Structure 1
Amino acid sequence: MKTVVISGGTSGIGEALAYTYLKRGDNVVVIGPSPDKGEKFLTRADGLGAGPRSFFIRADLSLVAENEQVVAEIREKFPVVDALVLCARFFRSYRRVTDEGFEHNFALYYLSRFLLGYGLADLLEKAPRPVIMNVAGPGIEAGRIHWDDLGLERGYDGWDAMFQGGKLNDLLGVSFAAGHRGYRTRYVLDFPGGTATGFAGEFDPATAAHIRAMLRSAKPVEAGIAPIVAAIDSPPAEPLSAFFEGRRLDLRRHRSFDEADAARLDAVTRKLLAR
């Protein structure tokens, strides 16, 4: 029996993965901000006969303090984590700053994944075949990292914020793998492609129309999660790997996985969090 922790596990791809592993007989911990969705998850899990193996942690993962509380709760309840699946993301057409002073997309899409991965690293290492599955957008050419304005105070755009978040997660994977050489934990970045699970966010009219068009041609969620499940069940041999719609990326060919940039981002992140 595995213990699988899923951020963003009450909707979309995260929810589909949660039920997949519950049906297999594993422990599943889902993290999300909505008590109603959490109760719905627990009720459905109970109906599947998986009540004792289902767990919901309510948390706003855009807040550093609540990520730290989540890590503490998981550490208290579980001696081992086999898989950490990072799915939480929320598109915003309009810039929002959290109560802690971070731009929301940066906080939820990047900082949360940094905090959960590093915070649970030792519990993962106790598992036979541990894996961190970061469901992001590896290797995407669009967008860039605004090194002098990570919070996008100057000229915010929702797509720009999302693309920057994907690139930050690419570098997070690089720095995590570099800092855990010799460890068993494998870090996997995966973009399954558009899936018909919705697209969580707050949209301006033009973006909302674009999202509706995207969803009309999206693949069923079962097809979208298949390669994710395969990588969790049989993690790649390399410390870091990345997949885009089922195609494995050559990390050496992509600027997105630059080791110097990864070290730079890691240092900036730790300085921000120390404040």
Structure 2
Amino acid sequence: MKTFVISGGTDGIGKAVALARLERGDQVVVLGRDADKGARIVAAAEESGAADRVHFIQVDLSLVDATRKAVAEIRSRFAAVDGLVLCAQHFRSTRLVTEEGFENSFALYYLSRFVLSHELADLLEAAPAPVVVNVCGPGIPMGEVRWDDLGRERDYTGIDALMQGSRLNDLLGVGFARQRPGSRIRYVLLNPGGVRTSFSGEYDPAMAEQIEAMRKAAKPVEEGILPVLAALDTPPDQPVSASMMGEPLPLEGPAFDAEDADRLHELTVGLLAARTA
């Protein structure tokens, strides 16, 4: 029996992956903010006879301190983690700053994934074939990292914040592997394409109309999770890899630049250290 930790596991792709792994006899730790949705995951597991293999941790992943408390709880329960699946995301048409002082999209879509990836690394190393699957946006030719304004204080738009988050996650994957030469952990950057999920977010009218059109054209979630399940079943040979809708992507160009990955890692460590202080 394998153990998987899934952030954003109460909805959409994360929920579907959690239920699929439970059906296969695995143990699943679901991280999510909504207690009612968490209860529904637990109830579904109970109905299928998997009540003893599902664990819900209620956590606001947009908060670094809360994310680290969730990490501590995982540590208290498990000696090893076979796979970490990163799905938590929430779109905001208007800019929001968390109580810790970080822009919400940056905190949820990037910082939580950085903290979970690095601070669960030792539990992953304890598993025989560990893998991190970061469901993000490799292969999308959009988005820039605003190095002097990661919180998008200037001219904020929800799309720009989302696309920057995708670029940051590309660099997170590259940086994770560079920080751990020789590690057995495989870091997979995975873009499933358009998937018919809830598209969690708070949208202005124009964006809401676009989202509805996207939802109608998107593939069913059962199809969208297949590349995720495949990566969990058979992690790639490479320390870091990227794919879009099941097709491998070359780790080339500015999206995967090693120097930028190192720069982002150092910058993020500094931000988190300042938060701790």
Shift of the alpha carbon at 1:56?
0.1
Shift of the alpha carbon at 1:141?
1.5
8 Å contact from structure 2 (residues 139, 191) kept in 1: no
Q: 2:64 matched to which residue of 1? A: 64
CA distance in structure 2 between the partners assigned to 1:44 and 1:140 by the alignment = 35
Q: 2:7 matched to which residue of 1? A: 7
Alignment of 1:1-275 (within 5 A): 1-252=1-252, 254-275=253-274
CA distance in structure 2 between the partners assigned to 1:48 and 1:14 by the alignment = 18
CA distance in structure 2 between the partners assigned to 1:24 and 1:264 by the alignment = 40
The one-letter amino acid paired with 2:76 is E
8 Å contact from structure 1 (residues 7, 88) kept in 2: yes
CA distance in structure 2 between the partners assigned to 1:58 and 1:260 by the alignment = 36
RMSD: 0.6
Q: So what's the TM-score if we normalise by structure 2? A: 0.98
CA distance in structure 1 between the partners assigned to 2:41 and 2:26 by the alignment = 15
Unaligned runs of 5+ in 2: none
What SS does the corresponding residue of 2:225 show, helix, strand or coil?
Answer: helix
CA distance in structure 2 between the partners assigned to 1:145 and 1:222 by the alignment = 32
What SS does the corresponding residue of 1:172 show, helix, strand or coil?
Answer: helix
Query: How many residues align structurally?
Result: 274
Superimposed CA distance per residue, residues 68-122 of structure 1 (whole angstroms, 9 cap, x where no aligned partner)? 1011000010001000000000000000000000000000000000000111000
Superposition misfits of 4+ residues, deviation over 4 angstroms: none
The one-letter amino acid paired with 2:74 is I
| Residue identity (%) | 57
Q: So what's the TM-score if we normalise by structure 1? A: 0.99
CA distance in structure 2 between the partners assigned to 1:250 and 1:165 by the alignment = 20
Unaligned runs of 5+ in 1: none
The one-letter amino acid paired with 1:119 is E
CA distance in structure 2 between the partners assigned to 1:226 and 1:273 by the alignment = 34
CA distance in structure 2 between the partners assigned to 1:67 and 1:3 by the alignment = 19
CA distance in structure 1 between the partners assigned to 2:101 and 2:71 by the alignment = 21
The one-letter amino acid paired with 2:255 is S
